[in-house]
Amino acid sequence: MKTKDLIICSLFCAITCVMAQISIPLSVPITMQTLAVSLSGIILGSKKGFFSQLIYIFLGGIGLPVFSGFKGGLQIILGPTGGFIITFPLMAFIISYISEKSDKKFILFISIFIGYIINYIGGLIQFMYITKSNLSSAISICIIPFLFTDFIKILLANIIGYKIRKNKCIKNYNKKDAE
């Protein structure tokens, strides 16, 4: 990677750090992390989007307070909800990989939706393993409370990401990435 690429990946890692701290205090706090992950995949492309989220996990894993609620450390990654964080690089990669195939807004929406499904699956698996809970209780705790706001974040990522992707500067940057 070039220095410029490392800087951009670090910038999106920082955006994810900031978005993790933006919390909507409902019965279950809702953060904006997944919106940042989606945008990193859409804007940076598959490799750099993946890498930016890997940096995010690394920083949190070594103890920097980058996760939601200014938390950090391996205990968060290895804890009941760590599976959601672990899937961030894959989520960014999948969103970008699918959406790079087309300029259509609907394909971008589908790619983000699939990215969220991957995030849900990884999160559920770890939650069920750590808490020894069954699938239905894990879904009712980890997914149901977030469906509405996650759908809003999918729409926001689709709208923002589509507009940014239409920008020639971003297109040329990602085209260089593919070469």
pLDDT band with cut points at 50, 70 and 90 for residue 144: very high
pLDDT band with cut points at 50, 70 and 90 for residue 90: very high
CA contacts within 13 A on the Cβ side of 146: 25
Mean pLDDT on 78-85: 96
pLDDT at residue 131, as a whole number: 96
| Distance from C-alpha of 37 to C-alpha of 95, rounded to nearest angstrom | 9
Res 81 pLDDT > 70: yes
pLDDT at residue 30, as a whole number: 86
| Distance from C-alpha of 134 to C-alpha of 111, rounded to nearest angstrom | 28
User: Cβ(55)–Cβ(17) under 8 Å?
Assistant: no
Q: Which residues pair with 170 in a beta bridge?
A: none
Res 173 pLDDT > 70: no
| Distance from C-alpha of 161 to C-alpha of 39, rounded to nearest angstrom | 6
| Distance from C-alpha of 3 to C-alpha of 6, rounded to nearest angstrom | 5
| Distance from C-alpha of 112 to C-alpha of 100, rounded to nearest angstrom | 12
Helices and strands (DSSP H and E) totals, the chain: 10, 2
pLDDT in tens, 52-71: 999 999 999 999 999 999 99
Phi, psi of 151 (to 5 degrees): -65, -40
- Percent of the chain topping pLDDT 90: 84
User: Cβ(166)–Cβ(160) under 8 Å?
Assistant: no
Residue ranges of domains in the chain: 3-178
Query: According to the CATH classification, is domain 3-178 in 1.10.1760.20?
Result: yes
pLDDT in tens, 8-43: 999 999 999 999 999 887 766 789 999 999 999 999
pLDDT at residue 169, as a whole number: 59
pLDDT at residue 175, as a whole number: 57
Tokens of 79: 């804890």
